């Protein structure tokens, strides 16, 4: 049993349905999760729901062989899509959830938010079923259904289209969110209670046996070369402020023989002795005052001879100052000529093709950018030459200063 959970559009309830399925099925047998595209937050919830690491599968940034390698395994896999089923990067929609379904040969279960429709649900479902013969839509899960009468109208309209479940409207299960998405799983003290609640809901409203019978062959394993580690001994920041790292990247490093240690900047832990110190993205802007006061952490960055590399939030911490949403400026590590601010927010979003000729991340990369910070000052040597998903040249990204480098780009895979 492996399949893809997709929807006609964002906001249809894919994540809640996926979490409920993972928790409900994990009570019966082991199950794995994956997320389509660049996302750090949903996979945290997936892992908590099923008790297994969640991987990202990115049909824009990864080759089909790489995707099959990451997806393969004997344990069933549920993939949560992103945006609408056929929505991908410009100009041709590459990277859509449908691409994963084609590459892996998996059936799609379409989650439809039926809260504001009745007979029109059939036109919507039929349109998706008939749109691409290479994408098999096995059936639908109806979400946000208001009453038994509403359900009966939807079932009559759908006629012979398979319905795997009918999930009632449950506004009490809506998850809290902030500017980059859901509030992180690590920040939810009620996480298990919430996951049990959605698991109970899905177990009582979705036909799990029919879903479990969808695809029994499994995904055949394929070998793929992973990303080479930037050093032998790697220290990675990991806590609520630095949680945005991709498991497949760290797994690649470990599989190649690198030694990985973790530390918490929020707990004022100094970076351990290492050849490479990695500050991933996250939410440092929410903890800027605390980080600025954590001298053991900051001094360990200033005094090390190791390569220090920051992505997005980690990049901002390597700069001179970070201004929070309330307009307060906080002194950062001062290792790059960078000042950033959340006082005036602006969305930066999109896939990136990156080329680096200096520093520890040399080579060609596929990555993405997703942040609201504005750059007040950027002085020094650029780190990456960049293009967008359409191949158009962008301004250079990031900075490098001796053994310290970083950018707002999140690296997904080697190009």
pLDDT computed for residue 151 by the predictor: 98
State which of 153, 178, 212 marks the end of a domain: 212
Q: Quick one: pLDDT at residue 223?
A: 78
Two tokens, residue 56: 């990202």
Q: How far apart are the first and last CA of the chain?
A: 31
Domain extent at residue 71:
3-212
Give the global pTM.
Answer: 0.94
Flag whether 151 is in a domain: yes
Backbone angles phi, psi at 56, to 5 degrees: -95, 135
315: CATH: 3.40.50.880
SS3 state of residue 383: coil
pLDDT value at residue 216:
63
Residues 256 and 383 in one domain: yes
User: What's the DSSP call for residue 133?
Assistant: T
Asked if residue 225 is part of any domain, the answer here is no
Q: What is the pLDDT of residue 173?
A: 84
DSSP 103: H
Give the chain's residues under pLDDT 50. none
| Whether 36 and 174 share a structural domain | yes
Catalytic residue among 50, 54, 312, 356: 312
Say how many C-beta atoms besides its own lie within 10 A of residue 298's C-beta: 22
Instruction: Provide the token pair at 18.
Output: 């996926």
CATH number of domain containing 198: 3.40.50.300
Q: Is 312 a catalytic residue?
A: yes
If asked whether residues 166 and 256 sit together in one domain, one would say: no
- Number of folded domains that form the chain: 2
State the pLDDT at residue 194.
95
Does one domain contain both 314 and 388? Answer: yes
Residue of 109, 121, 128 whose CA lies nearest to 14? 109
**Could you tell me where the beta strands, DSSP code E, fall in 114-170?**
137-145, 163-168
Confidence (pLDDT) at 178: 60
Measured in degrees and rounded to the nearest 5, phi and psi for residue 142 equal: -90, 125
356 and 399 part of one domain: yes
Classify residue 385 as left (phi > 0), alpha (psi -120 to 50) or beta.
Answer: beta
């Amino acid at each position: 049993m492996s399949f893809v959970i997709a929807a006609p559009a964002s906001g249809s309830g894919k994540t809640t349905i996926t979490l409920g399925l993972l928790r409900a099925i994990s009570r019966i047998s082991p199950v794995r999760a994956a997320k389509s595209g660049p996302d750090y937050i949903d996979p945290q919830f997936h892992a908590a729901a099923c008790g297994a690491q969640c991987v990202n599968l990115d049909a824009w940034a990864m080759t089909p062989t790489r995707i099959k390698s990451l997806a393969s395994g004997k344990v069933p896999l549920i993939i949560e899509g992103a945006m609408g089923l056929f929505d991908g990067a410009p100009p041709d929609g590459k990277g859509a959830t449908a691409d994963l379904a084609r590459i892996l040969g998996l059936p799609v279960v379409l989650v439809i938010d039926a809260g504001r429709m009745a007979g029109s649900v059939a036109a919507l479902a039929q349109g998706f079923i008939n749109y691409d013969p290479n994408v098999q839509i096995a059936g639908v899960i109806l979400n946000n259904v208001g009453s038994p009468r509403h359900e009966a109208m939807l079932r009559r309209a759908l006629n012979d289209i398979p319905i795997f479940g009918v999930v009632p409207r449950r506004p009490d299960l809506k998850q809290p969110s902030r500017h980059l998405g859901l509030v992180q799983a690590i920040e939810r003290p009620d996480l298990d209670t919430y996951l049990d609640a959605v698991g109970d809901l899905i177990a009582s409203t979705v036909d799990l046996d029919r879903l479990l019978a969808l695809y029994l062959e499994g995904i055949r394993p394929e070998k793929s070369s992973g990303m080479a580690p930037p050093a032998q001994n790697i220290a990675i920041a990991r806590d609520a402020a630095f949680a945005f790292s991709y498991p497949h990247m760290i797994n690649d490093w470990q599989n190649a023989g690198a030694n990985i240690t973790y530390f918490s900047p929020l707990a004022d832990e100094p970076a351990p002795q290492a050849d490479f110190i990695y500050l991933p993205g996250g939410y440092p802007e929410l903890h800027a005052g605390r980080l600025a006061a954590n001298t053991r952490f900051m001094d360990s960055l200033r005094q090390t001879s190791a390569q220090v590399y920051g992505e997005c939030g980690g990049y901002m911490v390597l700069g001179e100052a970070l201004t929070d949403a309330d307009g307060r400026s906080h002194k950062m590590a001062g290792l790059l000529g960078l000042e950033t601010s959340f006082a005036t927010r602006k969305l930066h979003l999109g896939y990136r093709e990156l080329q680096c000729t200096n520093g520890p991340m040399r080579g060609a990369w596929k990555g993405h950018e997703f942040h609201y910070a504005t750059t007040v000052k950027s002085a020094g040597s650029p780190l990456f030459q960049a293009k967008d998903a359409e191949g158009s040249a962008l301004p250079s990204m990031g900075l490098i200063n001796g053994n310290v480098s970083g950018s707002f780009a999140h690296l997904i895979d080697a190009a």
